[in-house]
Amino acid sequence: MLINELSKRTGISAHTIRFYEKSGLIKGQRDASIKSNNYFHYDEETVEKLELVRDAKSIGFTISEIAQLMDAWYNNHLTITEKLSVLDEKLNSIEEKIKQLKEMKKMISQFKKDVVEDDC
């Protein structure tokens, strides 16, 4: 399939797909039998990879982290234990961010209270 169809299937813009391709997350193939254009063609595995990228980004993984995960997952570089460890690290990172956000919320609430009480 061409990039427009890939975009429709995944809900990811063609511009973003090109960015992911330049980042090494996916790879299109040129059809050697077609000499009239330089269009890239994408397969079902690319659809799966883009869905993984979309889902991973939605839960806070960076492009770099996603690249490492995809390499490990698709090339079987990690054991199940190692895969679980990577996911546990991300969970710990999220927990730390939640803790920081709660502290920020508490501070802002206190600032708001000070403003209402005309202490600042």
Give the Cβ contact number of residue 40 at 10 Å: 19
pLDDT tens for the chain, 120 residues long, are 889 999 999 999 999 999 999 998 999 888 777 767 778 889 999 999 999 999 989 888 899 889 888 887 777 777 889 888 888 988 898 899 999 999 999 999 999 999 998 866
What is the tally of structural domains in the chain?
2
Domain holding 92, by residue range, is: 79-120
Residues 38 and 97 in one domain: no
Residues 10 and 59 in one domain: yes
The pTM for the full model equals: 0.68
Residues 69 and 25 in one domain: yes
Structural contact between residues 49 and 70, judged by C-beta atoms closer than 8 angstroms = yes
We report the CATH number of the domain holding residue 9 as 1.10.1660.10
Distances (CA, A) of 59 to 13, 14, 27, 32: 19, 22, 23, 38
Residues 28 and 49 in one domain: yes
Residues 72 and 91 in one domain: no
Residues 65 and 94 in one domain: no
